[in-house]
Amino acid sequence: MQDQLNETVNALVQKGKGILAVDESAPTIAKRFKAIDVESTEENRRSYRSMILSTPDLGQFISGVILFEETLGQSTDDGTLIPELLTQQGIVPGIKVDKGKLPLANAPGDEITQGLDGLAQRLEGYKEQGARFAKWRDVYSISGTTPSKLAIETNAEVLARYAAICQEQGVVPIVEPEVLIDGDHSMERCAEITEVVLHEVFHALHRHHVVLEHMLLKPSMVVPGKELQKASPKQVAKQTIRIIRRTVPVAVPSINFLSGGQAPEEATANLNAMNQHGQQPWELTFSYGRALQQLALQAWKGDPDNLKSTQTALYKRAKLNGAARYGDYSLAMESED
């Protein structure tokens, strides 16, 4: 089992590569499709996701793809199962396993993620379908009263229990504690909350005997609330690295940042600045959803005739983030073919 986990981690943590998240829930993908005037039917979701995952040479810059449960069992137009398609590309198939969030009792304004019941059994099925890693997201809202101590401790416990169950099943867990960008909080407040959250998460992981070498961390970057002026990439890099150096053990092989509502260029520039900040104990890379897919969705518009432009948009975004992995990205590259 340990060899299996190690093999998956090594496949995911490759220089110049990151993870593509196409695991949007039904309400989220419906919202994204509505923005391009496309109805969110099962066939439209299958068509779009199989199209982007068929992008030639995507595996040059993408090491893993997080799938939604529906997509794991779907096929391309020629009948190839999506996990098999990814494997052919040299990409590791993964699966989102949480069941969404709901209000946390006795903690107004805080939320908790559900889905632990039956998780081990579901993972067995997902493995049979080709999934080799999993992802679970818990969220933390910043306000004058949130996140509460109860929310920080409870969410950490849930993340740790999920990670332990995954490793017991031979599945590499991606642990995602997302400090939300919503609000008017300062960058300093975001840093303060991120530090407390990550400390608690790793305390919980330790309690549950999670092997840190066989997991990945998917945290937020330290940024001001989206109602305030954006921070520069250098500021984001400085504050984010300061916090992760205080909280993340060096045994964790990779930190795959989420984009969390950032624009595609912004997410790439911020990652690039972190990789220009000097040598760090971990790989600093990406696990982006909308920041990788947004331009591809706009190119697609629900029209199969737009296949080439859709795939070109995704490939370019993946390539630019691949450059950011080395700190080699520049804004001028956005206008290059």
Structure tokens at 198: 């990550």
Spatial separation of the C-alpha atoms in residues 328 and 325, rounded to whole Å:
7
Provide φ and ψ at 219, rounded to 5°.
-95, 175
H or E element that contains 202: helix 187-207
Establish whether the linkage from the previous residue to 253 is cis, with ω within 30° of 0: no
Catalytic residue, chosen from 176, 178, 200, 266, is 176
Q: Which residues contact 261 (CB under 8 A, 6 or more apart)?
A: 181, 182, 226, 290
CA distance 319 to 178: 25
β-strands 111-113, 283-288 pairing: unpaired
DSSP helix/strand/coil, 197 = helix
Burial class (CB in 10 A: 0-12, 13-18, 19+), 58: buried
Half-sphere exposure of 227 (CA within 13 A, CB side): 8
Q: Is residue 218 annotated as a catalytic residue, yes or no?
A: yes
**Catalytic option among 96, 135, 218, 319:** 218
Spatial separation of the C-alpha atoms in residues 65 and 67, rounded to whole Å? 6
Q: Is 176 a catalytic residue?
A: yes
What whole-number distance in Å separates Cα of residue 314 and Cα of residue 309? 9
Please list the active-site residues: 176, 218
